[in-house]
A and B are shown apart, each in its own frame.
Chain A
C-alpha cells in the first residue's frame, strides 16, 4: 500500500539558518538521515519541501469560469483529493496545467517546490 504523509506545520516557527552555517548543516543532516532511512527501508517513493505560503497561488475552478487568487487554499468544505508534481517554466504555465485538471469544481493550490531529495 502506498501512503501520502501531509506535513502541516507553522512556517513562521520554522528555523531559518544560513546555508553553510553549523546550525544549517545540522538541520540538513537530520533531514538527510531521515531520507536515507526511508530509502534504505524501501519506503521512499517521493517527497519535497514546498516554498513558504507567501509563494502560493490558488486557482478556483468552476464551469462558469476560473479565477486566480493570491495565497494558499484556505480549507473550507472541499477535501484534499490528490496531488501532482509538475515541471513548468513559470507560474503561468503551472496555472495553465492546473486549469486542465479534469475536476469541474475545485480549488487547486499551486506552490513552488523548494527542495526535493534524490530518490
Chain B
C-alpha cells in the first residue's frame, strides 16, 4: 500500500517533469506549462488525501494540468485584451491569443505520448541554453527536468531557498522576455556539450558534497546526475559522449563508499580499500564505456572515463597502468587543453616515471594558483621526491585554499605529517 505522501513525492519527481515537457512542447510556453503543472500538483495534494490516489497518477496529472493550462490561456487572453484596449500603443502581438489554444486532445499516460522524448530533449536544451548563466542552468535542469523542488535544490547546494527561487525566476523571465526558443538546436553537438557540462557539474557537486556532514533530507546530486545522464543517453543513443559521461560518473560513483573513512575523512585513491568498491557499478561503467567506444566518436568525457576505468578496474593500486593513463592525458589535452588536465597528467607522470618527472611536468601555477588541488598535488610529488620542506609549504597553501570540510581536515593532517 503506497502512502499518499509517497505517491505525491513520486508524482512530483517522476510524472511532473514529463507532463511539464509535454505541455511546454504543446504550447511552446515554459511558463504556462510550469504554472499549470504547479496548479495540478497543488490540486493533487489537496484532493488525494480524501479521494485517494488515482489508478494512473501520471495520466491524472496530465489531464488536470492540461485543463489548467487551457484555463490559464483563457484568462491571459482576457487580460491581454484589456491591456490592449487601455494602451494600444504597446503593440500587443495579435498572434499571442487564444487562437493558438488547443481545446481538445486525447490525454493518456504521458509516458505513452509519442512527443515525450522530443519534448524532454527540447526542454533539456532550453534549461542548458548558453544565454543563461551556469548556476541558472543547473537550477533549471534540476527543477524542470529532475523534478526536484526549490527547497531540495537549495538544500543540496547549501544556499537559502529564496536565493535559489530568485535564480530560477530570473532565468524563467529571461527565457520569456528574450524569447529563448524551445526547439532542437541547429548545432546539436555544441549545445549537447553544454548539457553534459551541466550534468557533470551536478555530479561533481554531489561527489564533493558527500564529504560534508550528511543531512538526511539532502537530495543526492550524484544520483540525480546519473539519472539525468541515463535518460539523456536513452533519448540520444547515438551520441558517444553521453555514454562517455555516464561511464565516467558510474566509475566515480562505484568508489563512493571507499572515499571516506569511518570519521568521514577523505581517503586518497591509492589508500582506498578496493574491496569496498561497488563491483556492479564498475561493470555498468565498463558497459557504458564499451557502448561509447563502439560509436567511434572520441571526446573528452570518453577519455576521462577511460582514465577512470583504468583506475577503477585495477584490483590493487600498484596494478594501475600509469603509462597508459599518461598517454590518455596526452590525448585529452590535445582535445581540451585545460590546466586541470595538465595538472592530472603531471601527477600521472609522477607515478609512471618518478616524482622529478612529475614536478617538471606541472603546469605553470598562473592559472591554478588559487586551486587547492594544484598545491596538494605539488606537495605530494615533493614528498615522494623527499623534499619535505617544500611539501609542507605546498600543503599549507592547499589547506588555506580548500573549502570542503573533508578536504580541509585531510590537508590539515598532511601539514601535520610533514612538520
Q: Which residues of A contact B (CB under 8 A)?
A: 19-20, 24, 28, 32, 51-52, 54-57, 67-71, 89-92, 95-96, 111-112, 115
Q: Which chain B residue shows the least CB distance to A52?
A: B177
- Looking at the complex, which one of A24, A54, A69 makes contact with B87 (CB distance below 8 Å)? A24
Tell me which residues across on chain B come within 8 A of A69, comparing CB atoms: 130-131, 133
Interface size class of B (residues with CB under 8 A): 20 to 34
Bound together, the chains give a CA A32 to CA B88 distance in angstroms of 13
The answer to whether B179 and A54 have CB atoms under 8 Å apart is no
- Looking at the complex, which one of B83, B130, B186 makes contact with A19 (CB distance below 8 Å)? B83
Bound together, the chains give a CA A34 to CA B87 distance in angstroms of 18
Closest 3 CB pairs of A and B: A20-B86, A90-B181, A68-B130
Residues A28 and B179 in contact in the complex (CB < 8 Å), given A19-B83, A54-B173, A95-B131: no
Bound together, the chains give a CA A73 to CA B198 distance in angstroms of 24
Q: Which chain B residue shows the least CB distance to A65?
A: B190
The answer to whether A19 and B180 have CB atoms under 8 Å apart is no
Within the complex, what minimum Cβ distance (angstroms) separates B410 from chain A?
35
Known: A57-B131, A68-B130, A91-B181. 8 other contacts (CB 8 A): A28-B89, A55-B174, A55-B177, A57-B178, A71-B133, A91-B179, A91-B180, A112-B177
- Looking at the complex, which one of B86, B170, B180 makes contact with A54 (CB distance below 8 Å)? B170
Within the complex, what minimum Cβ distance (angstroms) separates B8 from chain A?
34
The answer to whether A70 and B136 have CB atoms under 8 Å apart is yes
Tell me which residues across on chain B come within 8 A of A68, comparing CB atoms: 130-131
Bound together, the chains give a CA A92 to CA B179 distance in angstroms of 9
Within the complex, what minimum Cβ distance (angstroms) separates B54 from chain A?
37
Q: Which chain B residue shows the least CB distance to A67?
A: B130
Bound together, the chains give a CA A56 to CA B132 distance in angstroms of 10
The answer to whether B87 and A19 have CB atoms under 8 Å apart is yes
- Looking at the complex, which one of B87, B131, B133, B181 makes contact with A89 (CB distance below 8 Å)? B181
Residues A32 and B89 in contact in the complex (CB < 8 Å), given A54-B174, A71-B133, A92-B185: yes
Tell me which residues across on chain B come within 8 A of A92, comparing CB atoms: 180-181, 183, 185-186
Tell me which residues across on chain A come within 8 A of B173, comparing CB atoms: 54-55
The answer to whether A70 and B87 have CB atoms under 8 Å apart is no
- Looking at the complex, which one of B87, B91, B185 makes contact with A20 (CB distance below 8 Å)? B87
The answer to whether A19 and B86 have CB atoms under 8 Å apart is yes
Q: Which chain B residue shows the least CB distance to A24?
A: B87
Within the complex, what minimum Cβ distance (angstroms) separates B78 from chain A?
14
Q: Which chain A residue shows the least CB distance to B82?
A: A20
Q: Which chain A residue shows the least CB distance to B175?
A: A91
Q: Which chain A residue shows the least CB distance to B170?
A: A54
The answer to whether B179 and A112 have CB atoms under 8 Å apart is yes
Bound together, the chains give a CA A111 to CA B178 distance in angstroms of 7
Tell me which residues across on chain A come within 8 A of B132, comparing CB atoms: 70
The answer to whether B131 and A19 have CB atoms under 8 Å apart is no
* Pairs across A and B, CB under 8 Å, 23 listed: A19-B86, A19-B90, A20-B82, A20-B83, A20-B86, A20-B87, A24-B87, A51-B177, A55-B173, A55-B177, A55-B178, A56-B178, A69-B131, A70-B130, A89-B181, A90-B179, A90-B181, A91-B131, A91-B178, A92-B180, A92-B181, A96-B186, A112-B179
